[in-house]
Structure 1
Amino acid sequence: MEASPATAPPAVPRWLPAGAALAAAGWGANQFTPLAAVHRTQEQWHPVLVTVLFTAYLPGLLPGLLLGGPAADRFGRRRVVRAALLLSAAASALPTAAASSPAAVCAGRLATGVAAGFALSAGAPLRLGGWCRRTVGHPRFVWVVLPASPAVFGAATVAYVVLPPLVADEVPGYAPLFSGVVAALTLSVGVVAQPLAVRLHHARTARATLAGMVTVIGGLLVGALAAYGDSVTLVLVAAVLLGAGYGLTLDSGLLEIARLAPPSALPSTAFLHQGAAYSGFLTPLLLAVTAGAAPYPALLTGMAVVGLLCLWVTARFSRGNPP
Structure 2
Amino acid sequence: MGEVGIALSKTARRTTSWWLPGICLILTGWCANQYVSLISWYQQQRLLSEFEAMLVMGSYLLGMIPALMFGGPLTDRFGRKPFTLAALAFSVLGSLALMGGWYTEAGLYLGRVFTGLGMGLAMVAVTSWVKLISPGPAGATRAALCTSAGFAIGPAISGAIVGSSQSPELAYAVHAVATLAWLLLMLTAKEEQPAVLRQVDPADAAPAAHQMRTSMANMKRFTRLVLPAAPWVFGMAATGFAVVPALTAEPGQSSLLYSTITVLVTMGMGAAIQPLIRRFNDVSRVGLLLWGLGVALAGLLLMLVVSLTGSEAVGMAASVVSGAANGILLVAGLSQVLDLAGPADLGKLTGRFYMCCFIGFTFPTLFALWRPMAHPALFIGLLAICCAASMVQVFRARKYLPGRIPQHVTD
Equivalent residue for 1:186? 266
Equivalent position to 1:34, from 37, 46, 54:
37
Deviation at 1:266, TM superposition (A): 3.4
Question: Which one-letter code corresponds to 1:25 in the other structure?
Answer: T
Equivalent position to 2:294, from 214, 236, 242:
214
Alignment of structure 1 residues 1-323 onto 2, 5 Å: 14-68=17-71, 78=81, 80-99=83-102, 101-123=104-126, 124=128, 134=215, 138-168=219-249, 175-202=255-282, 205-262=285-342, 265-319=345-399, 322-323=404-405
Deviation at 1:179, TM superposition (A): 1.5
Q: Which runs of 5+ in 2 are unaligned?
A: 1-15, 130-193, 198-210, 406-411
CA distance in 2, matches of 1:103, 1:171: 20
Contact 2:69 2:352 in 1 (8 A): no
What SS does the corresponding residue of 1:98 show, helix, strand or coil? helix
Deviation at 1:204, TM superposition (A): 5.0
Aligned residues: 308
Contact 2:246 2:252 in 1 (8 A): no
Deviation at 1:100, TM superposition (A): 5.8
- TM-score, scaled to structure 1: 0.83
Deviation at 1:114, TM superposition (A): 1.0
What SS does the corresponding residue of 1:138 show, helix, strand or coil? helix
Q: Deviations over 1:231-290 (max 9, x none)?
A: 111111111111111111111112223443446543432322222111111111222222
CA distance in 1, matches of 2:375, 2:263: 23
Deviation at 1:75, TM superposition (A): 8.1
Deviation at 1:150, TM superposition (A): 0.6
What SS does the corresponding residue of 1:221 show, helix, strand or coil? helix
What SS does the corresponding residue of 1:122 show, helix, strand or coil? helix
Q: Which runs of 5+ in 1 are unaligned?
A: 1-12
Contact 2:69 2:355 in 1 (8 A): no
CA distance in 2, matches of 1:234, 1:72: 43
* Of 288-297 and 51-60, the range deviating more from structure 2: 288-297
Deviation at 1:156, TM superposition (A): 0.4
Deviation at 1:101, TM superposition (A): 2.6
Contact 2:230 2:357 in 1 (8 A): yes
Change (3 A) 1:200 1:279: same
Contact 1:95 1:101 in 2 (8 A): no
